[in-house]
Amino acid sequence: MTTAPTTSTGPTTSRTPYPHSAGLSVLRHRRLSLLLHRRAAVVVTVLLLLLAGVMLLAACVGQTYVPPGEVWRVLRGHGGPYDLVVGELRVPRIVLGALVGAALGLSGALVQTVTRNPLASPDVIGVGHGAAAATVLALAAGTVASPGALPAVAVTGGLAAAALVSVLAWRHGMQPSRFVLTGVGIGVALSAVVQLYLTDSELAAAEQVKLWLTGSLNGRGWEQAGPLARVLLLSLPALVWASRALRPLGLDADTAAALGVRVQRTQLGLTVLGVVLAAVATGAAGPIGFVALTGPQLARRLTRTPHLPLAASALTGALIVVGADLVARTLVPPLEIPVGALTSLVGGPYLLWLLGRSGRR
């Protein structure tokens, strides 16, 4: 699993299996903090290389195999026989997958830090459910003339639901457990709306909605990737700010406050950022489960930081989505499994494996 070279120079404690001993060994030796950063940098570099490799592989493999040399030709704009299949079908889809994964990974890291719950994903605070319910309502009311307007509806719905959850849960500040509980409740109500639509509608419409609800990159590309890329770029300054705030917030609220963090304000800021990222990603590809949940946890285990690392979370998220989509469209050739179904299929066992490893959780 760890492809990163071992950077340990210190005592043999770093040879123990990583999940829970990693954070501890850092806390014990304060001088190791420099080493920690170096490890994170190495991990990020390796993840970047891996991501580039998987993206290239994804461009080569599919119904028709395209040699890497030809992919490179298309990428440089030289055209050729593979212009359509690589340039217009695969590349946009792969780029979109990477962006969606990065946004979800970032969002997961932010939301998990704020709720102090490694099981919290943006879905827990209503984003996915809100997007789904809004889409379904718009379809039922017939107000959406073109399918192109659906992402906008989904983003609006996701934001509205998350705002509703936050407003309802906010009472003398944000208490993580109340936040999560409210989110789950609102999620149940919103998914009931979706269920109702599924039984009310014609079978064909139900099928389409079901496909969207699972999260799929099929038939999507630049049209969805463009807005997502712009949002990610615009949020960069906020992300830099967030990366500084995450570390103290990972501690408990009192300690963070003692360290000079304005806890409530920071929590609110991080939540808004996380929700926007998740909503835009969901609008682009539907709610792809488990990426926001597992990406940050995986990243933290790789970098062995005590808090959730943002850059590594974004990269693991991107890697998961691009890799899962690659598998989803090549596993059973004529059939395209929605990428969201695959991430859940793989994410579930991953969580179980984690449970099996860490005896005391």
Partner 1 sequence: MGVALLLAVTAAALSLAVGTRPVPLSAVLDALVHGGSSPDALVVRSLRVPRTAIGLTAGAALGLSGAALQAVTRNPLADPGILGLSQGAAAGVVFAIALGWANGFDGYVWYAFTGAVLAACVVYAIASRGRGGASPVKLALAGTALSAMTAGATTVVLTSSSATLDQFRFWQVGALSGRDAATVGRMLPFLAAGALLVLACARGLDALALGDDTARALGHRVTLVRGCAALGATVLTAAAVAATGPIAFVGLAVPHLARRLVNGGHRWTLPLSALLGAALLLVADVAGRVVRAPAEVPAGVMTALVGVPVLVVLLRRKGMAS
Give the residues lining the site for partner 1 (CB under 8 A).
119, 168-169, 171, 175, 177-178, 180-182, 184-186, 188-189, 191-193, 195-196, 198-199, 203, 206-207, 210-211, 214, 289-290, 335, 337-338, 340-352, 355-361
Cα–Cα distance, 335 to 259 (Å, whole number) = 54
CA distances 67 to 57, 325, 333, Å, are 9, 19, 19
Residue 214 CA, chain-centre distance (Å), reads: 14
Shortest Å, Cβ 327 to partner 1:
12
Lookup: tokens for 8: 């340990």
Nearer to partner 1, 248 or 287 (CB): 287
Shortest Å, Cβ 120 to partner 1:
11
Nearer to partner 1, 88 or 336 (CB): 336
Shortest Å, Cβ 307 to partner 1:
20
Cα–Cα distance, 231 to 207 (Å, whole number) = 30
Shortest Å, Cβ 180 to partner 1:
7
Closest among 1, 20, 41, 28 to 350, alpha carbons compared:
1
Q: What does the buried/exposed string (b/e) look like for 259-279 if buried means 16 or more CB atoms within 10 Å of the residue's CB?
A: eebebeebbbbbbbbbbbbbb
One-letter amino acid of 224: Q
Nearer to partner 1, 35 or 198 (CB): 198
Lookup: tokens for 307: 């808090």
Lookup: tokens for 292: 């926001």
- For the chain, the 3-state helix, strand and coil shares in percent, each to the nearest 5, are 75, 0, 25
Shortest Å, Cβ 148 to partner 1:
22
Nearer to partner 1, 250 or 289 (CB): 289
HSE at residue 95, side-chain half, CA atoms within 13 A, is 16
Residue keyed to tokens 């963090």: 261
Shortest Å, Cβ 4 to partner 1:
26
Shortest Å, Cβ 119 to partner 1:
6
Nearer to partner 1, 87 or 347 (CB): 347
Residue pair 225/96 in contact (Cβ under 8 Å)? The answer is yes
| DSSP secondary structure code for residue 86 in this structure | I
Shortest Å, Cβ 131 to partner 1:
17
Nearer to partner 1, 230 or 357 (CB): 357
Cα–Cα distance, 116 to 113 (Å, whole number) = 5
Shortest Å, Cβ 63 to partner 1:
17
Nearer to partner 1, 180 or 278 (CB): 180
Residue pair 280/231 in contact (Cβ under 8 Å)? The answer is yes
